[in-house]
Chains A and B, each alone.
Chain A
Amino acid sequence: MNCSDVERYVYVYLDGEFGERELREFEVHTAQCESCRQRVAAEEQYLLRLQSQWELPRAPDALRQRIQASIAAESREEPRSSLRRAVGGFEGPLWFSGAFAAALALVVFWGEVPSVFVESPSPAGARVTSGLGPALASSMTEVSSAVVPNRALSLVSNELVDNALETHQIDLPLEARGNPSVGSRFMSPELLALQRPPLEESSDTRLLGSRVLRGGLAKSVLFAYDHCGVRVTAVQTMMPRGWERMGGFYSEDRRGDHTVVTWRDGRVVTTIVSPDPRFDPMRMRSAPASR
């Protein structure tokens, strides 16, 4: 590789999309070339700032309701054709799909989804969380900005805490249960670094399962635990390259009924949420520095 290759492939490198051989060649060149190193560092800085600046509002409630209404209307309109596909052309009463549409219509009237209707993430759940999230997040700003005077970083950790709280409350279905080595099979290669669960299992702490979370700011994995009969979740997020160089942080925050613990170790930020106000992370946390 030469300087113009570095210019050309700098994003492929920073996005972690290189194969092993190209990665080696790239790093061999940049190790020898000061100006390419500068170029890479500058582009990295740009991406880091770009990736942490997005405004991330929630979908407006009105839109949510409109979409649910249009889906309800849709399943009222075309129940026959879709049913026919499903049961192979059998003709018969369609009362149940009518009931389904009615249930959806009801949802639209109420403006939220009754809990019997969906067992996992619902707009209603999201709304509950959104009240709590920012309050906690803003308290996190103080904590993290005190430790790390970096705007991008505190913005990112805000979002991470927000996400972790939300994720904790919406009870996402898990992709892999139990054994974490099974969980890692579901992870994309860049997430393999996260395959070590953040909390150690013990007689009163059991790993329920894990799942990959994509979207939001970065690549994350959710681990759900049963800790003394309480569901505790941990979100591990792989931050972009360059985070290793930033100062580490550790913070504990108690607000309302939730305890939120955040720490950074290398490129990995871990956020633990427990609904137990007396939750003591030190009792169950793996030592963050042991990696």
Chain B
Amino acid sequence: MFGWNRGDDETTKGTDFEREALVHMDALYRSALYMARSPEQAEDLVQETYLKAFRAFDRYKRGTNCRAWLFRILTNTFLNTKRRKIRDVAYLDEMDTSEATASPMLPGGTHRMNPEQAFEFGDLSGVVKEALAAVPADFRTAVVLADMQDFSYKEIAEIMGCPVGTVMSRIYRGRKLLQERLHGHAVAQGIVQETPEEEPTSLAEYRARREESRGGGS
């Protein structure tokens, strides 16, 4: 006779979970694809996230921001795995990074950019994933949360468990690193010209340099 009550609880949990949590699977999967190293890793990450979420679902307050809650689990799971790996098998992560940096499409190093040409990247589709892979995990995650998932700084702070100021700097550094890599890609593809390493600091210097180059040419 008490079975009904309990049954209802359990059914409600399943139905609620479907309605509140499983609907965000596409969003989690898309983000995981850009956070993790491979589609397989991304799938594992999403699966682990849902398993943890289901276990903790009793503690989740129904009707609150479920998407942010799930992203918090996803992000924690992702960053913890990352940290564990670094601790246990440091070389693996090293390989990871060097592989991304060594990619011929994305020359490492910074490029000086001037405003007019800094943002001529050509076709971005397909390039960003690769460029983003070379950005450190914390910054990469912040960029995905902000630019793909459109979370506010406050939400990202809650998701990543850090102060808003940290979010601000992670987003800044993540976007800047990505920008540099994309610019590097554009240079490599011949979409934009490489800017001289040092821009002249004064008009006099600029003239002097121009004279110099003319003199050398003729």
List B131-168 residues whose CB lies under 8 Å from chain A.
146-153, 168
Bound Cα distance A215, B29 (Å): 12
Asked if B29 and A70 sit within 8 Å, CB to CB, the answer is no
Count of chain B residues with a beta carbon within 8 Å of a chain A beta carbon:
60
Interface stretch, picked from B48-56, B82-90, B100-108, B199-207, is: B48-56
Contact between A97 and B10 (Cβ–Cβ < 8 Å)?
A: yes
Q: Would you call A149 an interface residue if the criterion is a C-beta within 8 Å of the partner chain's C-beta atoms? A: no
Q: What residues of chain A lie closer than 8 Å to B152, measured between beta carbons?
A: 17, 188, 190
Knowing A51-B147, A119-B19, A214-B67, say if A75 contacts B10 (CB, 8 Å): yes
Nearest residue in A to B174 (C-beta to C-beta)? Answer: A11
Instruction: Give the dominant DSSP class at B's interface.
Output: helix
Which residue of chain B has its CB nearest to the CB of A74?
A: B54
Is A113 touching B18 in the complex (CB atoms < 8 A)?
yes
Determine the chain B residues whose CB is within 8 A of the CB of A95 once the complex forms: 3, 7
Whether B11 is near chain A, meaning CB under 8 Å from some CB there, is yes
**In the complex, chain B residues whose CB is within 8 Å of the CB of A51:** 147-148, 150
From B73-81, B117-125, B188-196, B210-218, the one touching the partner chain is: B117-125
- Selected contact of B119 from candidates A46, A64, A71, CB within 8 Å: A46
* Dominant secondary structure of chain A at its interface with chain B: helix
Pairwise interchain contact A85-B26, C-beta atoms closer than 8 A: no
Closest CB of chain A to B71's CB: distance in Å? 10
Residues of B within 8 A of A206 (CB): none
- Report the Cα distance A185→B126, complex, angstroms: 39
CB of B115 within 8 Å of the partner chain: yes
Chain B interface: which of A52-60, A257-265, A273-281? A52-60
From B4, B43, B51, contact of A96 by CB (8 A)? B4
User: Which A residues form the contact surface with B (CB < 8 A)?
Assistant: 8, 11-12, 15, 17, 35, 38-39, 41-43, 45-47, 49-51, 53-60, 63-64, 66-68, 70-71, 74-75, 78-79, 82-83, 85-87, 90, 92-97, 99-100, 103-104, 113, 117-123, 126, 170, 172-173, 188, 190, 214-219
Q: A53-B124, A86-B10, A215-B24 are in contact. List 11 more A-B contacts (CB 8 A).
A: A12-B153, A17-B152, A46-B118, A46-B179, A63-B43, A70-B47, A87-B6, A103-B14, A118-B18, A122-B18, A219-B150
